[in-house]
Structure 1
């Protein structure tokens, strides 16, 4: 079965996600921003979701993790929880 390693930042608004994405694009540290801003329990791990398999995450995030290019920061991606910025390290 496929698996991947990813991290994300979850915020309430698209505007907040856009602002954080600009900061990331300007070279700010993903883990530090995740710890400071993410609403997900993964924030304390710098947004690290660990190893995930298809179907473990909400559909919108699953699509990014298993179909989008690696190492780029994708988003904002809307889900029922809010807006996510997602980065995928590897998948097999």
Structure 2
């Protein structure tokens, strides 16, 4: 959920484990017109509000299990059924904005909602390995 301000790694070879939830706005798949994008934006903002109300407004980090519950409830991505855990991936595997946010979100932190070519996302960065 897609959740961000994680420090960039100095090496271009780093890998990050990201759990992310996205609400697909349909634009990248050519589905729907008009209202679908605003529905997806409203849905991602609602999910983020739940995260804020539960943890982020208190300065707390969202527990991965709680992030997964919200992802399962709100995500329209196939990964949503498994709590939107995308596993480990290297730089260069994910598209532009998604990769930028994933590798700039601090470990343990949750990103703000953002849009990529695949929809809206919030990222919870679980860790990185070299």
Normalising by the smaller structure, the TM-score range is 0.7 to 0.9
Q: Indicate yes or no: 2:100 matched with 1:63.
A: yes
Which residue does 1:18 correspond to in 2?
45
Distance 2:95 2:78 in 1: 15
Contact 2:44 2:74 in 1 (8 A): no
Question: TM-score when scaled to structure 2?
Answer: 0.64
1:26-37 → structure 2 map (5 Å cutoff): 26-27=53-54, 29-37=66-74
Unaligned runs of 5+ in 1: none
Which residue does 1:85 correspond to in 2?
122
Deviations 1:32-79 (Å, cap 9, x if unpaired)? 121122121211210100001111111111001112222221121111
**Secondary structure class of the residue paired with 1:52:** strand
**Secondary structure class of the residue paired with 2:103:** helix
The runs of 4+ residues in structure 1 deviating greater than 6 Å are none
**Secondary structure class of the residue paired with 2:68:** helix
Unaligned runs of 5+ in 2: 1-12, 26-39, 56-65
Number of residue pairs matched by the alignment: 92
Question: TM-score when scaled to structure 1?
Answer: 0.87
Structure number with larger C-alpha Rg: 2
Once superposed, what is the RMSD of the aligned Cα atoms?
1.6
